[in-house]
Each structure stands twice: as structure tokens, then as C-alpha cells.
Amino acid sequence: MKFFVDTAEIDEIRELQATGLLDGVTTNPSLVAKSGRDFKEVIAEICDVVDGPVSAEVAATDYDGMVAEGNVLRKIAENVAIKVPLTVDGLKACKYFRDHDTMVNVTLCFSANQALLAAKVGATFISPFIGRLDDINLPGMDLIADIRTIYDNYAFTTEILAASIRSANHVSEAALAGADVATIPASVIRKMYDHPLTDKGLAAFVKDWKSTGQSII
Ligand code: G3P
């Protein structure tokens, strides 16, 4: 499973890059607003740090506007993936960018039918939002499993990018359901390392090692 980090904070991205875990980055207008940074500047900086896909979302909601904005964004770096919403115009724009050899992440996917449409227009990534479905008492993880089955039935190559991940459990559940990628907040990636038995076991090993009076170097 590939790990993308869902953030526009360059310091978090640098820190994660150093762990060797990071395969890409996703941003969205809310995350850019939270960062307080200039959008194009921050995307350029992220693309300098990360070799994998960096999703940059268009702000326009009409086809011409999305194409015009996406054409600006894709010139920032070769690893920019244009993020478009799952609408009629968004999927038309997806086809345009795929025809122009640019990666596309189709976002705001909440149903298997929407994922089917995105695959048919050649999306590089489809982003089902797990947490936001859970928020309204719908089983987010079932959507990942359904999309996996549909894509496998027809050998679609669109990668399933589990988004709106809110907990470490979401990550392992998405992996079990067959997601190709998870885009995860940095705070959740940090939690994935944790297990109380690891802490307990390590404390015991450290104590016992000290009692030997030995040193390795
Ligand atoms: O980037 C899209 C997605 O991951 C947003 O997550 O937590 O705002 O639903 P959330």
C-alpha cells in the first residue's frame, strides 16, 4: 500500500520524507487555507521535496475554468496530479488532463457508481472519503471494498486512494479492503507506530541490558 500524507504543511512533509514512508502528498483547498501559504508556491515546494504524486486541487467548478487552472498547476512540476471533483465537468476535465499525459486525482467520491465513472474516463486515482461517510452513519470502508471488486472485475487501472482517514484503524481496514493508496494526516501516521506492548517490551529490554553492565560499542 502506498502512503500519501494529507497536508499542505511543508515541515510535516519534510519530517515524513525522512522516514522513508512517503509515496506522495494530497492537498485540498481547506488544507491550503489552514497552511496560510500561497497555493502555487507551496505546491512547488512540496514537489521539490517529494518525487511521488502531489495532488493540487482546482478551485473552479466549470470545465473551462478547471482546464485553465489545471494547465497552470501541471506546469509547476511533472509530479503534480490535478485534483478535480466528481462532477460532470470534473470528469470531463479528468479526460482532458489524461489525454494530455497528466495524472488526475478525482476527489469527493461517495459511491461505487461515481468510482466507476472516474475509472471509465481514465482517472489515475479515485478518492473515496471514508470518514465523511462514517460521519453520516454510512459504512465508509464498504465503499472501498465495493470499488475494489468493481475495478478488479473490469481490470481498471485507476488506483483506489482511501481519503478522509481519521484513525490508524482506518488505514489497516483500508489496506484489508484492497485500497492501493491511503492519504493520511501526519498525526495518524505517527499513531500507527504505537503499541503499548512495544513500549512495555522495550522498557524491559533496556532495563535488563543495563543490568548486564555491557556496551556494544
Ligand atoms: O483530502 C481529502 C480528505 O482526506 C479530507 O479529509 O477529514 O476533511 O474528511 P476530512
**pLDDT tens figures, 182-202:** 999 999 999 999 999 999 999
Identify whether 217 is part of a domain. no
Atom index in ligand 1 nearest the CA of residue 31 equals: 1
> How does residue 5 score in pLDDT terms, banded at 50, 70 and 90?
very high
Q: Please choose, from the candidates 158, 124, 130, the residue with its C-alpha nearest in 3D space to the C-alpha of residue 144.
A: 130
Residue 2, beta-bridge partner list: 181
CATH number at residue 103: 3.20.20.70
Coil, helix or strand at residue 23: coil
Q: Tens of pLDDT along 6-28?
A: 999 999 999 999 999 999 999 99
Residue nearest to atom 7 of ligand 1 (CA): 164
Question: Does residue 24 belong to any structural domain of this protein?
Answer: yes
Question: Which sign does the torsion angle of CA 59, 61, 65, 66 carry?
Answer: positive
Q: Which domain holds residue 188?
A: 2-212
Please state the domain count of the chain. Answer: 1
Q: Is 33 helix (H, G, I), strand (E, B) or coil?
A: helix
**Within 10 Å of residue 115's Cβ, how many Cβ atoms?**
27
Residue 117 lies in a domain: yes
Cα 185 to middle of ligand 1, angstroms? 9
Alpha-carbon distance of 41 to 24, in angstroms, equals: 17
Atom index in ligand 1 nearest the CA of residue 166 equals 7
SS3 127: strand
- Give pLDDT tens digits for 59-83: 999 999 999 999 999 999 999 999 9
CA atoms within 13 A on the CB side of 167: 8
Residue showing cell 504524486: 53
Count CB-CB contacts under 10 A for residue 30.
10
